[in-house]
Structure 1
Amino acid sequence: MTLRAAVFDLDGVLALPAVFGVLGRTEEALALPRGLLNDAFQKGGPEGATTRLMRGEITLSQWIPLMEENCRKCSETSKVCLPKNFSIKEIFDKAISARKINHPMLKAALMLRKKGFTTAILTNTWLDDRAERDGLAQLMCELKTHFDFLIESCQVGM
């Protein structure tokens, strides 16, 4: 018997716009050097704040001040001044709330499932403990019923 499966990511595939695409858009909007925020995001590698967030070791509200500190350090290293009102929380709150279901991609997933494919969402997510977390929770509730499996990095520790 042949295994027929289709695996979809959430960010930038089943939900648009991609939350982490906000880093590049923010750099452009604030005239920051390209890659500065991505460097801050990746700072620390496998033991860094972002990786710990994705593994579910820390929550989003615990990650935000760590990310803001990473941004400050990267800007100092690059000799760039961040705007006084720079806020990772505001940037990510906006990006998360702007995210909507990508209906053409969901339709494709539904068609594959109807044709006998096992379907899954495999995604890097975080434990969202913000007051505004209902939007993300609603998005996940709407999507997960259409898939056989939902695998979130923060739930499986990867």
Structure 2
Amino acid sequence: MPYRAVIFDLGGVVVGSPLEAIAAYERRHAIPAGFINRVVVATGHAGAWSRLERGELTLEEFYPAFERECEAAGRRVAARALMELVAAATVPRPAMLEAIRRIRARGLLAAALTNNWITEDAGTGVLRPHFDVFIESAAIGLRKPDPRIFQRACEALRVAPAEAVFLDDIGANLKAARALGMTTIKVADPAAALAELEGVLGFALG
């Protein structure tokens, strides 16, 4: 079955990685590497981070809630400073934007599928014109790796999962997409990921 769409995560794929910003915050404040991610995972569906990304908390509500969770886990985290660092890291990657342009020029559809939160500024919404479909977790109340958010993306694109390629930097999200039948590419090195995508699609992206 030929591919009809490419679905991109934003943070760590189309824009700079929030994971790198979080790691930088941990180094700067002598917090053990991976501590913040462990708090996010341990608090799960009901945790402040997950609730933020489903649009159930504003940033102002998130800050004290997440700080309490981190303190309960043994470390103090200044959530506002952390999220400011994350926001500063999300700078668009020109090579990814060029790849998206070429994908659409070839007649394929391009979608953004991002776990995000509601901000007072435009945030990643400034990237909307680059995509045919733009799905934000905070807007629909679902977040990756919930299978329903991938199904929502395919429905919006009017493609079957097997007709889509999905790029993300988080393994759990890729695993969920693969389980639905999507072809997946992990983005650790953006250039390597684009080279892999070129091989999958069969045409140059840069």
Q: Report the TM-score range of the alignment, normalised by the length of the smaller protein.
A: 0.7 to 0.9
Letter in 2 for 1:115: R
- Distance in 1 between the 2:55 and 2:94 partners? 28
**Cα distance in 1, alignment partners of residues 78 and 60 from structure 2:** 13
| Aligned positions of 1:40-59 closer than 5 A | 40-59=39-58
Q: Is the 8 A contact 2:21 2:85 kept in 1?
A: no
Q: Which residue in 2 is equivalent to 1:144? A: 128
Residue number in structure 2 paired with 1:62: 61
CA offset at residue 138 of structure 1?
5.4
| Structure 1 CA distance for aligned equivalents of residues 7 and 42 of structure 2 | 28
The structural deviation recorded for 1:47 is 1.5
Cα distance in structure 2, aligned partners of 1:48 and 1:35: 17
TM-superposed deviation, 1:42: 2.8
User: Distance between the aligned counterparts of 1:88 and 1:98, measured in 2?
Assistant: 15
CA deviations on 1:75-116 (whole Å, 9 max, x unpaired) are 1xxxxx64xxx5210121132034211110010011001001
| CA apart distance, 1:127 | 1.5
Alpha-carbon separation, structure 1, partners of 2:123 and 2:37: 28
TM-score after normalising by structure 2: 0.63
Stretches of structure 2 lacking an aligned partner (at least 5 in a row): 143-206
Aligned to 2:7: 7
1:153 maps to 2:144:
no
1:43/1:49 contact within 8 Å kept: no
CA contact (8 A) 1:56 1:126 kept: yes
Alpha-carbon separation, structure 2, partners of 1:65 and 1:42: 18
Deviation at 1:23, TM superposition (A): 2.2
> 1:138 and 1:59 mapped to 2: Cα distance?
14
Tell me which amino acid in the other structure corresponds to 1:140.
G
Separation of aligned partners in 2, 1:41 and 1:34: 13
Comparing 64-73 with 115-124, greater Cα deviation is found at 64-73
Q: Where does residue 20 of structure 2 map in the other structure?
A: 21
- Shift in Å, 1:35: 2.1
Q: Is the 8 A contact 2:22 2:86 kept in 1?
A: no
1:89 aligns with 2:73: no
The residue matched to 2:110 in structure 1 has which SS? Answer: strand
Counterpart residue type for residue 85 of structure 2? K
Q: CA RMSD in A?
A: 1.9
CA distance in 2, matches of 1:48, 1:98: 23
- Give the 3-state SS of the residue equivalent to 1:33 in structure 2: coil
Give the residue type in structure 2 aligned to 1:153: S
The one-letter amino acid paired with 2:68 is E
